[in-house]
Amino acid sequence: MPAPILQLNDVKTHFPVSSGFFVRHQTGTVKAVDGVTLSVARGEVLGLVGESGCGKSTLARTILQLVPTTGGTVILEGRNLTSASAAEMLLARRDLQMVFQDPFASLNPRMTVYATLAEPLLVHKVVPPDQVRARVTALMEKVGLSPRFLEKYPHEFSGGQRQRIAIARALALEPKVIIADEPVSALDVSIQAQILNLLSKLCREMNLALIFIAHDLSVVKHISDRVAVMYLGKIVELGPAVEVIEHPRHPYTRALVSAIPTPDPDIERGKKRLVLPGDPPSPLNPPAGCAFHPRCPYVQEKCKVSVPPLIPCGPNREAACVRLDEIGAQ
């Protein structure tokens, strides 16, 4: 495996919860990200899946240091971002960019496309001012938009076009890692396909590392090389995308895979669906032991005692379940 460009070691992001009207006092801690160890190599697409509230977006924000880390380290090419100064962080962000979910909210409505795309170039002074326009034009072409749109405002574009602008903005500084937080969830399926194709093409051409966050497993399987499944702040399964999704080991991954509706009536009707009871538990008050145990069909007493670590279960595969061998492969 090539050396990772981004390495997370036991990253924790906890948020204090306070209550009281006149006197605020801390009443709890939300462990949004709780001990995540991950790495991404250049040219690799890592899919990060999980249900809402599992901490995948917080993990993205933690990597970019948009929220303070509680523990662990985020290392980008040997630089530890968790202890970086503001000046060092500014430099690091040239290599680390983000694409957000909602292209209707992530672009400034008062800035033209040109201003949006030129801003990072001017802030980081990557090109002399007289070359900015040429760079912006090249960026537009790279994401498949005509440069004649440069003087338009975001409201004049459709959702898919806006997402292309957001991607162009992330590419402006020629980063090495892009984190895309649900970049296609707000888009229709035909537009979603365009953006997925664009992201795969850019990763190949620019040798980018991409962390692709989504809740749709079929999208993740399509675009990712490896996939990490998160549940309540922890990674419960990690491995090559096709294998994890076609032969999931962790009971939660199994349930997640089984819950995806297949667009094929014969398969869909013949399928024995593993429907999980209940909702994901509150991260404010997670269950003891394995966080998944209250919903797990394979639960035993030992699951309620200690938090299971990620253990290897096949080539490049890991899963966090104490009963892996007993429940076998699927």
Partner 1 sequence: MPLLEVTDLRTSFHTRSGVYRAVDGVSFSLGKGETLGLVGESGSGKSVTCYSLMGLVPQPPGRIESGTAMFDGIDLLHCAPAQARQIRGKRIAMIFQDPMTSLNPYLRISEQLIEPLLIHEKISKADALVRGLAMLEAVGINDAAKRIHSYPHEFSGGMRQRVMIAMALITKPEILIADEPTTALDVTVQAQILELIKKLQSELGMAVIFVTHDLGVVSGLCDRVQVMYAGRIVETADTRTLFRSPRHPYTKALQRSIPSLQPKGKELYTIPGLPPDLSKPIAGCAFAPRCEFAVDRCRTTDPRLVAINPGHATACVRVQSAEI
Binding residues (CB under 8 A) for partner 1: these are 51-52, 158, 160, 188-190, 192-194, 196-197, 200, 215-219, 221-223, 241-242, 255-256, 258-266, 268-269, 271, 273, 275-277, 279-280
Q: For partner 1, which is the closer residue by CB, 50 or 175? A: 50
Tell me the closest approach of the beta carbon of residue 274 to partner 1, in angstroms.
8
- Give, for 259, the enclosing helix (H) or strand (E): helix 251-259
Tell me the closest approach of the beta carbon of residue 160 to partner 1, in angstroms.
8
- d(C-alpha 57, C-alpha 142), whole Å: 27
Please, are residues 221 and 241 in contact by the beta-carbon 8 Å criterion? yes
Please, are residues 38 and 62 in contact by the beta-carbon 8 Å criterion? no
Q: For partner 1, which is the closer residue by CB, 10 or 246? A: 246
**Strands lying side by side in the sheet with 318-319:** 96-99, 177-181, 209-214, 45-49, 226-231, 234-240, 318-319, 311-312
Q: For partner 1, which is the closer residue by CB, 71 or 294? A: 294
Tell me the closest approach of the beta carbon of residue 121 to partner 1, in angstroms.
29
From the list 173, 178, 207, 177, the residue with the least C-alpha distance to 195 is: 178
* Cα separation of the two ends of the chain: 27
Q: For partner 1, which is the closer residue by CB, 6 or 256? A: 256
From the list 46, 104, 43, the residue with the least C-alpha distance to 230 is: 46
Beta-bridged to residue 140, according to DSSP, are none
Q: For partner 1, which is the closer residue by CB, 18 or 262? A: 262
Q: For partner 1, which is the closer residue by CB, 92 or 321? A: 321
Please, are residues 280 and 203 in contact by the beta-carbon 8 Å criterion? no
Please, are residues 7 and 75 in contact by the beta-carbon 8 Å criterion? yes
Tell me the closest approach of the beta carbon of residue 265 to partner 1, in angstroms.
4
Tell me the closest approach of the beta carbon of residue 195 to partner 1, in angstroms.
9
Tell me the closest approach of the beta carbon of residue 212 to partner 1, in angstroms.
12
Tell me the closest approach of the beta carbon of residue 241 to partner 1, in angstroms.
8
Radius of gyration of the CA atoms of the chain, in A: 21
- d(C-alpha 167, C-alpha 78), whole Å: 26
Q: For partner 1, which is the closer residue by CB, 227 or 303? A: 227
Tell me the closest approach of the beta carbon of residue 159 to partner 1, in angstroms.
8
Q: For partner 1, which is the closer residue by CB, 97 or 192? A: 192
- Give, for 287, the enclosing helix (H) or strand (E): none
SS3 202: helix
